[in-house]
Amino acid sequence: MSEKKTPIKFDPELCLKCETTACLMNCQYIDFADRGEARAEKLKINDGKDSRVLHECLTCYACQEYCPFGNNPFFLIVDRQEEQGILPAPKPIVTEQLRMMGFKDRLVKQAVAGPVVDMCAFPMLTGCVRGKLFEGASVIVGTDIFCNIMWLHFAKNSTIRDRVPRAIGNIMHYYLEDAGISELICFHDECYGTYTSVADAYGIEVPFKPIHQFDYYNQRLDKLKDHIKPLNVKIAYQRPCSNRLCPETDKALDEIFEKIGAERVPRKHDRKTALCCGGVPRAHQRDEFADTLVEKNINDMLKTGATYCVFNCPFCMATLGQEVAEQGLMPILVSDLIQIALGD
């Protein structure tokens, strides 16, 4: 596999010229004595040498956003971890999940009409696609179209290279091709990240145009503006790791909140300093650290006086939702919050 693989789009020269080492200096989980140390570790990574970063990385994707040159530092870390056999999680955990999320080859061609919403591997969430917001939408779902980005957390770039093209092929063959549809609404921004950022960096061809859920919602809300009853609520937003791959969409989210009368309260752990929900570290067997992340996130939210904790990522919601609810905040997905404003 390693001989044949297309290298990650990464320019070492660009990295050498960098004067900030922002990728590692901004990291919220690994401490460096100074920029010199961070730079030294980064160079080790670039050169394919062992680095403590490869062992300590929380796999939160944030360095992808911090890099001022779009030079894919995180994707490179994952490549290096895999090349060096550094496993963030125990092997059976990874192998079992690889099987769990593998292709089931159960798809049959299904007539779809636009807008086509990709619900990825979250069949339990298909009920979210309803009402005026998703009027006329078709939903596609299942592990056979799983975006497979999760393997970034498990040093499995090889799986991404292997499975993503096949998932894309399935989406085209079973759904989009026959319908002549060229756009795909990504309900989860992990999918959007896969079909934009990952595909670009890994050299994977994407024959359709991925549309981020926030862009879709904005466009719908403009059309439905007469139906909006402003919520007048304060919300704390839990920004997920996947959004680091498409930071430009965060502005679109602000627009959404404004349109529906939700005030995104400033919190320490939002935007660039968003903290991991704690889900992935548990897979890495770092439960105690995950506990501190949960605690920090929730304490930070509670300080803001928000009523809702709004999630973009369903996995973050599964991880944090119960805890958030026990602390008196209502956990809700962005789309469901919009549904409330639309009275659906």
Partner 1 sequence: MTSDLIARLGKIVGPRFVSGEAEERYLYSMDQGTMPPAVPDAVVMPADTEEVRQVVALANELKVPVVPMGAGLVLSGLTRALKGGIIVDMKRMNHIIEVNPKSRYVVVEGGASQGMLQAYLKKHHPDLKHSMPDAPPIATLAGNVCIHGSGHLSVLGGSHSDMLTGMEVVLPTGEVVRTGSCSVSDGWFARSPLPDLSGLFMGWSGTTGIVTKLGIKLFPKYRHNDVLVFVAEDADLMPEIIYRLTSTQVAEDMTPWMTPKPDWARGFLHINIAYGAHTKKELIFKRNLLQASVREYADQKIAGFLPLPPPQKGRFLKIPSPDLARFADLRKGGGFEYVGAIMAIEKFADAYRAGLEIAEKYQVSYSLGARIIGAGHCMMFFFAYAFNRADAEDVRRASDALEATNTAALEMGGIPWKAEEPAQKQIIEKMDPETFALMEKIRSILDPNGIMNPGNWEKK
Task: Give the residue with the Cβ less far from partner 1, 55 or 209.
Answer: 55
x/- mask, partner 1, residues 39-78, rule CB under 8 A, reads ----------------------------------------
To the nearest whole angstrom, how small is the minimum distance from the Cβ of residue 281 to partner 1?
A: 9
- Provide long-range contacts, Cβ within 8 A and 24+ apart, for 101-108: 101/143, 101/146, 101/148, 101/150, 102/143, 103/143, 103/144, 103/163, 103/166, 103/167, 103/170, 104/142, 104/143, 104/144, 105/144, 106/142, 106/144, 107/142, 107/144, 107/145, 107/170, 107/174, 108/174
Task: Report the nearest approach of partner 1 to the CB of residue 93 (Å).
Answer: 5
- Examine residue 115 and say whether the peptide bond preceding it is cis (omega within 30 degrees of 0): yes
Residue 46 or 319 having the CB closest to partner 1: 319
Question: Segment near partner 1 (CB under 8 A), from 52-60, 111-119, 187-195, 282-290?
Answer: 282-290
Window contacting partner 1 (CB under 8 A); options: 61-69, 127-135, 220-228, 321-329 = 321-329
Residue 192 Cβ vs partner 1, minimum distance, rounded to whole Å: 22
Give the C-alpha separation, 78 to 9, whole Å. Answer: 13
SS (H, E, C) 244-268: HHCCCHHHHHHHHHHHHCEEECCCC
Contacts of 144 (CB under 8 A, 6+ apart): 103, 104, 105, 106, 107, 167, 170, 174
Site residues for partner 1, 284-303, by CB under 8 A, read: 285, 287-288, 291
Which class for 130: exposed (0-12), middle (13-18), buried (19 or more C-beta within 10 A)? middle
Angle between helices 249-260 and 213-223 (to 10 degrees): 30
Please identify which residue in 193, 210, 279, 331 interacts with partner 1, judged by CB under 8 A. Answer: 279
248 binds partner 1 (CB under 8 A): no
Q: Determine, following the binding rule CB under 8 A, whether residue 282 of this chain makes contact with partner 1.
A: yes
Q: Which CB atom, from 39 or from 153, has the smaller least distance to partner 1? A: 153
Which range touches partner 1 (CB under 8 A), out of 9-17, 28-36, 99-107, 226-234? 99-107
- Using rule CB under 8 A, residue 96 touches partner 1: yes
- Distance between CA atoms of 300 and 306, rounded to whole angstroms? 10
φ, ψ (nearest 5 deg) of residue 245 = -85, -15
Q: Is 322 in the site for partner 1 (CB under 8 A)?
A: yes
Nearer of residues 115 and 281 to partner 1, judged by Cβ: 281
* Cα–Cα distance measured from residue 128 to residue 340, given in angstroms and rounded to the nearest whole number: 12
Residues in region 147-166 near partner 1 by CB under 8 A: none
Identified binder of partner 1 from the candidate list 102, 114, 165, 247, rule CB under 8 A: 102
Q: Does 90 bind partner 1 (CB under 8 A)?
A: yes
Gyration radius of the chain's alpha carbons: 20
Query: Which range touches partner 1 (CB under 8 A), out of 30-38, 95-103, 193-201, 216-224?
Result: 95-103
For residues 16 and 325, which CB has a smaller minimum distance to partner 1 in the complex?
A: 325
Contacting residues toward partner 1, per CB under 8 A: 87, 89-93, 95-97, 99-100, 102, 279-280, 282-283, 285, 287-288, 291, 315, 318-319, 321-323
